[in-house]
Chains A and B, each alone.
Chain A
Amino acid sequence: MKLAGLKSIEDAHDESVWAVTWVPATDSRPALLLTGSLDETVRLWQPDELVNRGKMTGHCLGVASVAAHPSGYIAASASLDSFVRVFDVDSNSTIASLEAPPSEVWQLRFNPQGNMLAAAGGGSASVKVWDTSTWNLVATLSIPRPEGTKPADKSSSKKFVLSVAWSPDGRRIACGSMDGTVSVFDTDRGKFLHHLEGHCMPVRSLVFSPAEPRLLFTGSDDQHVHMYDAEGKTQVGSMSGHNGWVLSVDASTDGAAIATGSSDRTVKLWDIGMKAAVQTMSNHNDQVWGVAFRPGGMPGRLASVSDDKSISLYDYS
């Protein structure tokens, strides 16, 4: 397996690019790339030439996260003030504005079935779930307090939830926290299942393997990428090689590889079988905040976005 650079756009945004996701292809168009940036805009790009397909405004602070509905028609973006804007990808019309108390929306993810939108609840130490038909908040999955702390204890004991991921079957949600723990919830029952331990610093990104529903990849500030058996509550692998925080992790459709972006300004491709990095891309010259594999079939595409305001597109084979 290997990556080959296809296209890179310098100054794709006016400021650092913080979030990236693929909008799946629809009948009328191919899959598009959606990026969110500190310049308060969300932009759409068409591969492989990365043609700018539109600029969406409506946030008054930097966009920290973007998510695309599996149908490919709807996307959501969240800014630092926890304002979530759900919009139609093609017309850019606002479908819904979801407001949460500031600091309580971080990473956004639609479930693979498309009827739920989950958000890492930041300071609320929970994962918020919205129904995508009514856009009502349907669940708040809270991480239980550690034993021995009283409810009266304020924020200090709370876990700040940074990241969230759906299992491919949509039955599990995993979320990563600032203290390095990963919590797993049962979505059907809305219940907390268990913690996955092993990281000692914030877990900024996690993703389930598309091929193996139990397998969870996590990237953390402690420079490691861990593999967990999310059901079995065990760590099944640890990969290191980054020289800085691992800011973003994504798994390829076939589940054979993962890509990571790091604050050491590199993008690494990891072979799951070998549990080792097979390739390091260092075309960015600032920290890489997001990596995203294109869902669906061949040819594989990987996009990465960085603080240096650029977007890069790679061929994955």
Chain B
Amino acid sequence: MPESEKQEKECELRRLEESIQDHPDDPSLRFELGVLLWEECGEKEKAAEQFVVAAKLNPGIEKGGAFRYLGLYYAGLDSQSHSQRALKCLQKAASLNPDDSIAGEALCDLLDQQGKESLEVAVCREASQNSPRAFWAFQRLGYLQLHQNKCSEAVHSLQHAIRGYPTSPILWEALGLAYQRLGRFTAALKSYGRAIELEGTRIFALIESGNIYLMLGSFKKGVETFQQALEFSPKSVSAHYGLSSGLLGLAKECINLGAFKWGASVLEEASKVAWMSTHLAGNMSSIWKLHGDILLTYAKCYPWMEVDRGLEFDAEAFNNSILSWKHTCCVAAKTARCSYQRALHLAPWQANAYSDIAVTSDFIYSLDKSSGHDSSSWQPSEKMALGALLLEGDNSEFWVGLGCLSNHNALKQHALIRGLQLNVSLAVAWAFLGKLYRKQGEKQFARQAFDYARSIDPSLALPWAGMSADFHSRESAADEAYESCLRAVQILPLAEFQTGLAKLALLSGHLSSSQVFGAIRQAMQRAPHYPECHNLNGLVSEAQSNYQSAAVSYRLARCAIINLSSSDTKSHMKDITVNLARALCKAGNTLDALQECEYLKKEGFLDVEASQIYAFSLWQLGQTDLALTVARNLAESVSTMEQASAAAAVILFSRFQYYISGLDSTINNILQMPKQRFRSSKFSLIVSAIHALDQRNQLKSVGFSIHNNLKTPEEITEMFFLLALGTLVKHGSEYRLGYRRGIDHLRKSLHMYPNSSLLRNLLGYLLLSSEEWNNTHMASRCCGLGTDPFKGGFKLSYEILGAGAVACYAVGNSNPKFSYPTCTYQCLNEPGAIQQLQKCLRQEPWNQNVRYLLVLNLVQKAREERFPRHLCIILRRLIIVALSDEFYHKPGMSIRYQKFQLLLCASEICLHDGYLIDCINHAKDASMIMLPDAYLFFAHLLLCRAYASEGDAVNLQREYIRCLELRTDCHIGWLCLKFMESRYGLETGLDTLELSFKEFTKEQKNSSNMWMALFNLVQGLMSIWSKDTYSAEGFLSQACSLAGAESTLLLCHGATCMELSRQGDASQFLSLAARSLTKAQEVSLIPLPIVSALLAQVGGSLGSKEKWEKNLRLEWPTWPPETRPAELFFQMHLLARQSKASSDTTNIELWQSPLRWILQAIHTNPSCMRYWKALQKLVE
């Protein structure tokens, strides 16, 4: 203390003493002195003297301040009489000033020391009633009430106290505890949270809020809270206990989802924490019990992990992995039992410890049968279950436990019924009773018991499973059983339920569902030693077409069954081996499949299914004779089989016979078969297929009996399909199928079943294949794309659509910018086809067929649009992508053909882009592909074109000769070749060319005329090139007469005639021209340009001004605005000048003046002198 202050105080003291001497009766001065002595000088005795005097003089001084100091003074003196005096003083002080927290607290402490709790409560209550600001009293009262477990009152007091001390973590903690005891958990959590906020290390608040979280089931939060507590209090037993039980809860949640691995890893952590807590408090039985619980749960969830084996199979590794899995489970369970025993040893009066040991012993026994003690008639599990009952005979759950663990059915039943007597709504007991009855074969009772259980607690898995297992005895379908078992599996992922589910799925056809897949995979983790588990897993894999892994699973199953020493292994072994052989066969591993079959044969297990597989694998391996023998033996034993497998056997035999011995012997065999065989619809279809292939119609006699056996529309349409194919075969020649009859037949069938996409697609395909002139459009129309273009028949609708769109030779483009559509069938769906194909490609980007068709369609479009740049770029990219696909390295004629076409497309694009070297390379590549000459022709044709544009005459000639040698049955090829020939003056092989062309044309009836007309057209054009207009006219008129009403041909003819008339023979050719052109004008789909202009000229030449004007006006709208030629404007100028006189303003030519017309003509083509002269004349 600094000197000056000390002096000051002494001064003050002296001053007060002096004034007291002056005024000895002034209590306030004495009080002041007392306080000074008490606080500053620490002379409490002297101070007390002053306080006594002051209190005597004025008891109410400073609101009982004197009494407070006196009370504190006496309380400080440690003796009985003094404390009495202290009590009185403090009581006085507190009653004088209820807000005085120091006096109040001191009073309460004193009372507390003397154990006078009720008095303490009374003091606090009085103070709190006297003043709402006596927060100390509320606080004290709250604590006391909480201590006395009067929680709702405590909440009020504490809340009031918190108003006075809002930052006291202890108060918040106490409030939290009060709420917790009242069961208001969220409020409690909030209060504890506030306490933790105020002081992060409130261990009590942390642990209690953790406990509340666990109780509310939010284990994650609980775990976090306990971890937080452990951070600063690493030795807290409660925190350890809470953490491990939180982790246990978390793990159980995982396990209930079936995430065993996850659960196991959480449990590993939990067991570590629990183990640590057993070190901290090894004599608490609850900790040992928790440790036991954790390890038992671990033993029950530890998953068997598949050895990383790829698709190889290693029996030893499998066995070892199962052994080590079992060992891990067993060790965990045994450790759990040790922990339970410790718990029991510490607190043997607790009944649940006995039942825990009982359950664990039972589990260990189930895992490891060898460790059972046969010496005593009582299993330890049963005995311990009895132990629990001896201690707590009125606990129904212990009775249920005994019922589950006992080996004696009578005792089981008794225990379960006893449990139900104690608690009739115990769903578990009902469920187990049901299980027991089921085992004893009392299905009726079982069902009732399960029904009770289910109605009491629908979230219990066992009754659902029980109901599903019972489905044989009831009428309910397998579907219902499956659903109910699925429910059980969803509630509790138990391996037994899961294998049951897979079994039911097999029966009800749900095997490929993902729920079954997940379930059986989980089952494998928990029951790897059950062969049926692997077998079912194999079946599930097979259902998902994963034959390789199915085979591995079957092998595992076989391995597991060898380890299992059970009586009935033989028949199971057979089933598994048959499955294995089938899976191997399906996976393409025929050699192994054959081995398995031979093993079966050796063991005498070769049943119907195995024989089929045997025969099939023999056939696959080329041992045809043996295969046939096996199949024949199978077919001969048909009479003893059930219907489905009998049919399968006969079908197999017939098919083999067809493949191996040929058509005739098969037919003979079928003719010898008894009629009832045909009752199987599948066999009927096979017979029809064979019938379809047979040109001699030997099976006609059985045909009628077949028809009657088919029931469903699908089967009937399939029959019609086969009939149509049969028609094709029967009415075709050696080289060509009877398309016409086939199409007729199909049209009739389609009339009956208009919705069958199978028939529609076939019709479309046939229409396309017939290569008749206009059938392509019908093909596209008859198989409209439905919602799913990838469904139906052996040719898909998108394929027909795509092919149909490229098959049309006519220009289908309706955009007048490029050309004029000439297709009389309004082939306007071509862009639609491209869009459809793009849609298909988007759905199945891996589908090379769609890509191929899209490329072809795009090339077609590019051709029509004169190879625009952007399209060429897209195409080149598409083709490169397509060609780089593995798909085109596979063998197969159609794939080679597609590759060929793609190369040609690439080549053509390059030709137009000017990359001649690429073009030649692509074409050469194409010409190397192994294909019939008729196709290769086109590669060489393209080479011709490339060399021609390169100017390489030698190579051109060579390729041309090659083309002639190869020949093709495709007319357009010949026409192109002809074109090339005349264009480049090649060495003529004209005779052969023309002859071959005519030869191929004859075969087609409908379109032969058209092709001849085209041939004539080409010849006519060549004549025009060689200035031989007369012969050109001859060819063209022949073409017109052959083709009928074809506007373009007529136009050509008309124009040629005009030319001839210009050259001389006016009258004769002029009338011919007029006829052709008028006809052209009439038949053309949309008004063709030039036709009317020429007609106008004809009219003019014949002196008919009216005709001239009319036709010229008709000419105008035929041109799209951007392509109107200069001559058109000039002609309009002439027309305008002529019709000036007549004032009919509706005519086109009067839109503008002749001057404007001529200027427009000059603007379009300034190089024509005629226009300039006309302008001059006009201006003059």
Contacts and interface: CB of A to CB of B under 8 A. Distances in A.
Interface string B365-382: 000000001011010100
B338 interface: yes
A122 B344 CA distance: 12
B344 A80 contact: yes
Given A61-B357, A307-B282, A154 B392 contact: yes
A160 B348 contact: yes
B252 interface: no
A248 to B, nearest CB: 12
In this complex, the member of B338, B345, B380, B394 whose beta carbon has the largest number of chain A beta carbons within 10 angstroms is B345
A38 B341 contact: yes
B387 A82 contact: yes
B384 A102 contact: yes
A102 B338 contact: no
B282 A287 contact: yes
B345 A64 contact: yes
Given A102-B383, A102-B386, A263-B283, A154 B394 contact: yes
Interface string A113-147: 00000000011100000000000000000000000
Contact of A101 (B338, B376, B387, B392): B387
B387 A102 contact: yes
Contact of A263 (B282, B361, B375, B394): B282
B235 to A, nearest CB: 15
A20 interface: no
A70 to B, nearest CB: 27
Given A15-B338, A81-B384, A81-B387, A154 B393 contact: yes
Interface string B599-618: 00000000000000000000
Contacts of A45: none
A180 to B, nearest CB: 12
Contacts of A101: 386-387, 390
B1086 interface: no
B935 interface: no
A235 interface: no
A24 interface: no
A123 B345 contact: no
Interface in A73-122: 80-83, 97, 99, 101-104, 106, 122
B342 interface: yes
Interface string A50-63: 00000000101110
Nearest to B380: A60
B376 A83 contact: yes
A184 interface: no
A162 interface: yes
Contacts of A80: 341, 344-345, 348, 357, 384
Given A60-B373, A81-B387, A103-B348, A287 B283 contact: yes
B282 A178 contact: no
- Interface residue tally of chain B, by bracket? 20 to 34
B69 interface: no
A62 B391 contact: no
A222 interface: no
In this complex, the member of A15, A81, A106, A244 whose beta carbon has the largest number of chain B beta carbons within 10 angstroms is A81
A80 to B, nearest CB: 6
A283 interface: no
A267 to B, nearest CB: 16
Contacts of A229: none
B391 A81 contact: no
A18 interface: yes
Main secondary structure of the interface of B (DSSP, over half): helix
Interface residues of A, number: 34
B354 interface: yes
Contacts of A155: 351, 391-393
B846 interface: no
B659 interface: no
Given A123-B390, A263-B282, A287-B283, A103 B354 contact: yes
A259 B468 CA distance: 64
Contacts of B344: 80
B1000 interface: no
B232 interface: no
A287 B282 CA distance: 7
B349 A245 contact: no
Contacts of A102: 354, 383-384, 386-388, 390
A286 interface: yes
A104 B390 contact: yes
Contacts of B391: 103, 123, 155, 160
Contact of B341 (A61, A104, A122, A162): A61
Interface string A276-317: 000000000011000000000000000000010000000000
B283 to A, nearest CB: 4
B574 to A, nearest CB: 40
A154 B394 CA distance: 8
Interface in B1028-1065: none
A81 B390 contact: no
B348 A286 contact: no
In this complex, the member of A58, A123, A245 whose beta carbon has the largest number of chain B beta carbons within 10 angstroms is A123
Contacts of B384: 61, 80-81, 102
B348 A106 contact: yes
A195 B394 CA distance: 28
Given A99-B378, A154-B394, 13 more contacts: A38-B341, A61-B341, A61-B357, A61-B380, A62-B342, A64-B345, A80-B384, A81-B387, A83-B376, A99-B376, A102-B384, A106-B348, A123-B390
Interface of B: 282-283, 337-338, 341-342, 344-345, 348-349, 351, 354, 357, 361, 373, 375-376, 378, 380, 383-384, 386-388, 390-394
20 contacts: A15-B338, A60-B380, A61-B384, A62-B338, A80-B348, A80-B357, A99-B378, A102-B354, A103-B348, A122-B348, A123-B390, A123-B391, A124-B390, A155-B393, A162-B348, A178-B349, A245-B283, A263-B282, A287-B283, A307-B342
Query: Which 3 A-B residue pairs are closest in the complex by CB-CB distance?
Result: A102-B387, A160-B349, A263-B283
